[in-house]
Structure 1
Amino acid sequence: MIGPLISLRYIFGAWAKKFVTFTGNSFNSQRLGRLKFSNKKLEAFDIDDLLRASAKLLGNENLGITYKATLENGISVVVKRLNYMNELCMKDFLQQMQLLGKMRHQNLVEIVSFYCSQEQKLVIYEHIPHGTLFELLHEGRGIGRINLDWSTRVAIIKDIAKGLNFFHHSLSSQKVPHGNLKSSNVLISYDDNHGYHSKLTDYGFLPLLQTKKVAAKLAISKSPEFVQGKKLTHKTDVYCFGIIVLEIITRKVPGQILGEIEEITSDLSDWVRTVVNNA
């Protein structure tokens, strides 16, 4: 759910106040240095420009809090304030973000820029306007539920597969290139001429997580390899993709199946297997 309009300066609290001060109606800013931009074609803005932006809360998930920020020039971006990375080596973060920032594909959300200090690590993405696949599938149940015909569902699945395939080929040396593939990390845009278009986001953070306890906050933690303590590979991402496919087909929420009639498991893949075996 999108929260009320506030400023990023207010959201970031004490950290922002160390760098941003107001004197009367004039704005004086101690420059923090420029953000690291992935797309040189975009108009550059500094971290203090970002702090002046109006913002709405988009989500608060395990790896961090996400906001939609509207800059004074009217451009909207999405800012993810990362958790669990303050102890991370700055060099490692910079290298991974520079690598991810080079990724360009019609089914990947583009990383516009990022900011790195010992206190804060921010990733700034392009803004995709129509919410997440999770919201499309599961919100508005009943009369308000959006009908998705099979051709639309197949098109969404194909978009996700194309994005994941590109990512796996581009980052073939990384054991689990996405690492956090789930329906809430698939963003949706829509227009009347082309219908729904899907893009993957929140990718590439696994190499930056220093403990298995923190990695357990990612979607891959539900995979058999992770649960059994086995070696993680590209197939771990493929398992997560399979769960999304089942979610799109059944429109059931993974992990929330218990309590329905004759359901004996909260695992979506187990539920589907049980239904097929009993058919």
Structure 2
Amino acid sequence: MVEHGEEEGPNRSTNIVGGGVGRNNKSGENVGKLTFVRDDREKFELSDLLKASAEILGSGSFGSSYKATLNNGNSVVVKRFKQMNNVGREEFQEHMRRLGRLSHPNLLPLVAYYYRKEEKLFVSDPVQKGSLALLLHGQTRGTPTLDWPTRLKVIKGVARGLSYLYKELACLVAPHGHLKSSNVLLNASYEPLLGDYALIPLINQETVQEMMIAYKSPEYFNNGRITKKTDVWSLGILIIEVLTGKFPASYLQQGSEVDMTIWVRSVINDGYDNNMGLTRNSEGEMQKLLNIGMACCERNVDKRLDIKEACVRLEEVRERDRDDDDFHSTCASTEADHRSSRGTSEDFAVIIN
């Protein structure tokens, strides 16, 4: 849920205390508490969180994110939301329980939450490599670049996580609703984890339409609506961003209304990202991935891929061109046969002598 790649600032010590978080009521009792939605995490109290030393990770569309280190040495990531009053307490809690039941290798699990009308806190696990946006666009000296196999792995993982959301949250028109590179986090093995998913039902409607990526799609831009294929459009934008290394800055700006089909055409003409490591035996597969991204970015919703079609086609993309693999496989097989044949003749010569 870390909003890397937007208004990211230097890490510095701070407090995660919002106005009134954990405040006392008239009788002096603390009215705030954390609610854990998973049973496989060590529990702690809100007071432990508020006393923890914390570093600001970033400030994004909805609020700031922090990495907090508890007294026991464990770390958690906390994100604060202020524009999250679209539903009442009971409906909010039910939605949190639903998110807590989700389990997939490519989803960032929600661990716990804090509810107050003016402010919400979401608690999740820290992710080692940070966001995809940071690794693609925030390169610093000594930071490794993402090569083609890693980028392909990331896209496939994103699609699998997205497909899972479509299945488990079928009641939502846009099960993710806010898919972008800063909401894709990478673990130690560069496996992607989707964050900030399924927020549309909770966020204030005026804020949703102004900030959420789903509401920057062509169908909303032209017709004022989102569809079951809107998240697929966001996946297409992500694919093209990963392949070209171009950051879709204008479309991520708060309140901006940009026809992203123009951006897609312009960045494709610039070619692939040189940092990806284009080689002769991978260019064909890169082109296949680009074609899928374009099909996901189809302006006409009826012609756009659905999530199942997109996932099937993505799983068919490989690191190397098939023809090139077949060539090398044939050569290796021929050489092995030659060595095997030669070895048999030499053995026979030893026997007869």
- Structure 1 residue identity aligned to 2:241: E
Q: Is the 8 A contact 1:189 1:198 kept in 2?
A: yes
How many angstroms apart in 2 are the aligned matches of 1:8 and 1:147?
32
1:2-13 → structure 2 map (5 Å cutoff): 2-9=10-17, 12=18
Instruction: Identify the residue that residue 97 of structure 1 maps to in structure 2.
Output: 96
Gap change, CA 1:254 and 1:52, over 3 Å in 2: same
1:2-81 → structure 2 map (5 Å cutoff): 2-9=10-17, 12=18, 14-16=19-21, 18-19=23-24, 30-32=29-31, 34-81=33-80
Normalising by structure 1, what TM-score? 0.82
Quick check: 1:253 aligned with 2:252? Answer: no
Q: Is the 8 A contact 1:135 1:184 kept in 2?
A: yes
Instruction: Please give the secondary structure, in 1, of the residue aligned with 2:93.
Output: helix
1:38-187 → structure 2 map (5 Å cutoff): 38-86=37-85, 88-140=87-139, 146-187=144-185
Q: CA deviation at 1:248?
A: 0.5
Query: Deviations 1:94-130 (Å, cap 9, x if unpaired)?
Result: 1211111111111000100111122321111111122
Gap change, CA 1:120 and 1:145, over 3 Å in 2: closer
- Structure 1 residue identity aligned to 2:11: G
- Structure 2 residue identity aligned to 1:205: L
How many angstroms apart in 2 are the aligned matches of 1:109 and 1:267?
32
Q: CA deviation at 1:255?
A: 3.1
Quick check: 1:270 aligned with 2:278? Answer: no
- Structure 2 residue identity aligned to 1:4: R
How many angstroms apart in 1 are the aligned matches of 2:223 and 2:201?
17
Instruction: Please give the secondary structure, in 2, of the residue aligned with 1:234.
Output: coil
How many angstroms apart in 2 are the aligned matches of 1:160 and 1:174?
18
Query: Deviations 1:123-181 (Å, cap 9, x if unpaired)?
Result: 1111112210000101126x656332211111111111111111111101110010000
Aligned residues: CA RMSD: 2.5
How many angstroms apart in 2 are the aligned matches of 1:85 and 1:101?
18
Instruction: Please give the secondary structure, in 2, of the residue aligned with 1:164.
Output: helix
**Greater Cα radius of gyration, structure 1 or 2:** 2
Gap change, CA 1:186 and 1:125, over 3 Å in 2: same
Normalising by structure 2, what TM-score? 0.66
Query: Deviations 1:180-239 (Å, cap 9, x if unpaired)?
Result: 00000000122xxxx411100011110113324533201123210121234322310111
Gap change, CA 1:87 and 1:179, over 3 Å in 2: closer
Instruction: Please give the secondary structure, in 1, of the residue aligned with 2:121.
Output: strand
Instruction: Identify the residue that residue 207 of structure 1 maps to in structure 2.
Output: 201
Instruction: Identify the residue that residue 216 of structure 1 maps to in structure 2.
Output: 210
Gap change, CA 1:30 and 1:129, over 3 Å in 2: farther
Q: CA deviation at 1:36?
A: 1.4
- Structure 1 residue identity aligned to 2:13: L
Moved more, 117-126 or 107-116: 117-126
Gap change, CA 1:114 and 1:152, over 3 Å in 2: same
Q: Is the 8 A contact 1:107 1:163 kept in 2?
A: yes
How many angstroms apart in 1 are the aligned matches of 2:85 and 2:206?
16
Q: Is the 8 A contact 1:109 1:200 kept in 2?
A: yes
How many angstroms apart in 2 are the aligned matches of 1:19 and 1:267?
53
Gap change, CA 1:273 and 1:153, over 3 Å in 2: closer
Instruction: Return the structure number with greater strand share.
Output: 1
- Structure 1 residue identity aligned to 2:94: Q
Q: CA deviation at 1:275?
A: 5.9
Query: Deviations 1:55-96 (Å, cap 9, x if unpaired)?
Result: 111111112211111111111111111021246421221121
Instruction: Return the structure number with greater helix share.
Output: 2
Segments of structure 1 that go 5 or more residues without pairing to the other structure are: 21-28, 258-264
How many angstroms apart in 2 are the aligned matches of 1:275 and 1:138?
16
Q: Is the 8 A contact 2:22 2:33 kept in 1?
A: no
Gap change, CA 1:238 and 1:157, over 3 Å in 2: same
Instruction: Please give the secondary structure, in 1, of the residue aligned with 2:44.
Output: coil
Give percent identity, aligned residues only.
Answer: 36
Gap change, CA 1:175 and 1:43, over 3 Å in 2: same
Q: Is the 8 A contact 1:113 1:125 kept in 2?
A: yes
Aligned length: 253
Q: Is the 8 A contact 1:32 1:46 kept in 2?
A: no
